[in-house]
Amino acid sequence: RMGVPAEAIEVVHNGADLARFRPGLRASEGARVRAEAGLADDERVLLFLGSGWARKGLDRTLEAFALLAPDRPSWRLLVVGYEPRLEAWRASAVALGLASRVRFLGGRRDAEACYAAADLYVLPTRYDPFANSTVEALASGLPVVTTATNGGSELVREGVHGAVVPGDADAHRLRAALFEWTRPGRASAAREACRALAEQNGAERMTERSARILEELAS
């Protein structure tokens, strides 16, 4: 778009704090959040986390989860984030028949614990230059189902670290991706690959890459 040759461009993605976001929290912090949400040990968790829920695609998350719910009775949806229209979103979940399947946890400062409580992360955002939650979820060992309009989707290898659907995907298309990744054992089998990918995109490494580029320019 700007007429700059591709070979002159180096992309440095956002990096995750690998010490803060890690799979090892599942038995401690993750268990705490699950207990707060009233989740049983045999219930699986789909996590939606962020602010600006309309842009992030909570509407189609709820619609897709309503389509998925009959086939995945053990799955629950946790919704986390600061949102002024919280009660309207609660009403939407109730209208879709999801009153007992969705937990709204509100705004929290322990995102790492929320990832640790989950099995799969969903973010069907309509636009995000690079949603930090993408790599945070991966660092926590969670596969990610997101949209091509999230710059963070560049990290996700289809079928290995999650799924990438079109930015304008409807609830049925999103449901198909979620159906695949909520199959028994599917998400947990990808945990190590997700963490390994995040370790290649840790905050420290991304900072070092940025510093190297600036040093090269300065010289």
The predicted structure's pLDDT at residue 1: 87
- Contact between 15 and 202 under an 8 Å Cβ cutoff? The reply is yes
Mean pLDDT (whole number) for 92-100: 98
Percentage of the chain beyond pLDDT 90 is 99
Q: For residue 182, which of 124, 121, 125 has the smallest C-alpha distance?
A: 121
Mean pLDDT (whole number) for 87-108: 97
* pLDDT single digits (tens) 23-59: 999 999 999 999 999 999 999 999 999 999 999 999 9
Under the banding of pLDDT at 50, 70 and 90, the label for residue 140 is very high
CA distance 93 to 216: 52
The predicted structure's pLDDT at residue 176: 98
The predicted structure's pLDDT at residue 47: 98
Query: In terms of DSSP H, where are the helices of 52-170?
Result: 53-56, 58-68, 86-95, 111-116, 132-139
| pTM for this entry | 0.96
- Contact between 199 and 140 under an 8 Å Cβ cutoff? The reply is no
Angle at 144 between CA 139 and CA 147, to 5 degrees: 130
